[in-house]
Amino acid sequence: MIESRVPRTRWCLLVLLSLLVPVPGEGSGGQIRVFAAQEQAKETKEPGPQGRKLSHAETLRWITEHKAWRRARKTKPIWARAVEAEEVGKEFQTADHAVEKARAGYWLCVGVAGEPWFQTLEKIEGKYDPAGEAVKTFEFDGKPRKYRTFKPKATTRNWVAQVKGPGIAGFFIRPNYDPAHPLYSPAGGYVVRDDVKDPYQTKPDDVWLVQKGLFESTYEVIP
């Protein structure tokens, strides 16, 4: 019996080591992808000592059951530019510790904390007013680039829901940009969606995640 267990033990050790060692030639990107895959796998795991990690569907159901939607507005500007041809496929680490790949036809948006994300120009212009241009060099740029500055429209509103409570360790959200890779937040983060007349009767077209600290520095809840 002892001899039959040795090969299985060695195999398990090799698998564990393969997860810990960075992918050759990819630097920290390999480690980031392992982290993202692990977080995605946890979406359906059993409750841990800190409580449950709600799946995307469970999160939206929790918001409805607790009548958690509140109106809010964004208060800080963003910078945005079109994704350049040589950037298509390039990986960007978001504020949610996930990796998103740049796609043709999208715009790279950057918030006041230097956090990148992607959306279409049509969506940007629907929520923001142009406010000039600026040459910026963010951590992921590598060289100075020309960005357009956008300020939130005075009339733009969002529905937001803070997800926290007894037995909740955190939650996942699947944004439209990359639904195959859910984003994770510890309890206390915010789910955000575009404004509609009744968020409980209208199925969300798109929802996204804003971590607690970032939300509190860039949004305000409307009483």
Q: Are residues 209 and 111 in the same domain?
A: no
* Per-residue pLDDT tens digits of the chain, which is 223 residues long: 434 444 444 434 343 334 333 333 333 333 333 333 344 445 555 556 678 999 999 999 999 999 999 999 999 999 999 999 999 999 998 887 778 899 999 999 999 989 999 999 999 999 999 999 999 999 999 899 999 999 999 999 999 999 999 999 999 999 888 888 889 999 999 999 999 999 999 988 889 999 999 999 999 999 8
Q: Are residues 110 and 208 in the same domain?
A: no
Q: Where among 115, 132, 152 does a domain terminate?
A: 152
- Structural domain range at position 202: 47-72+156-221
Give me the pLDDT at residue 14, please: 40
Give me the pLDDT at residue 43, please: 58
Report the domain count for the chain.
Answer: 3
Give me the pLDDT at residue 31, please: 31
3-class SS string, 23-65? CCCCCHHHHHHHHHHHHHHHHHCCCECCEEEECHHHHHHHHHH
Q: Are residues 33 and 92 in the same domain?
A: no
Which helix (H) or strand (E) element contains residue 220? strand 219-221
Give me the pLDDT at residue 193, please: 96
Q: Where among 106, 127, 152 does a domain terminate?
A: 152
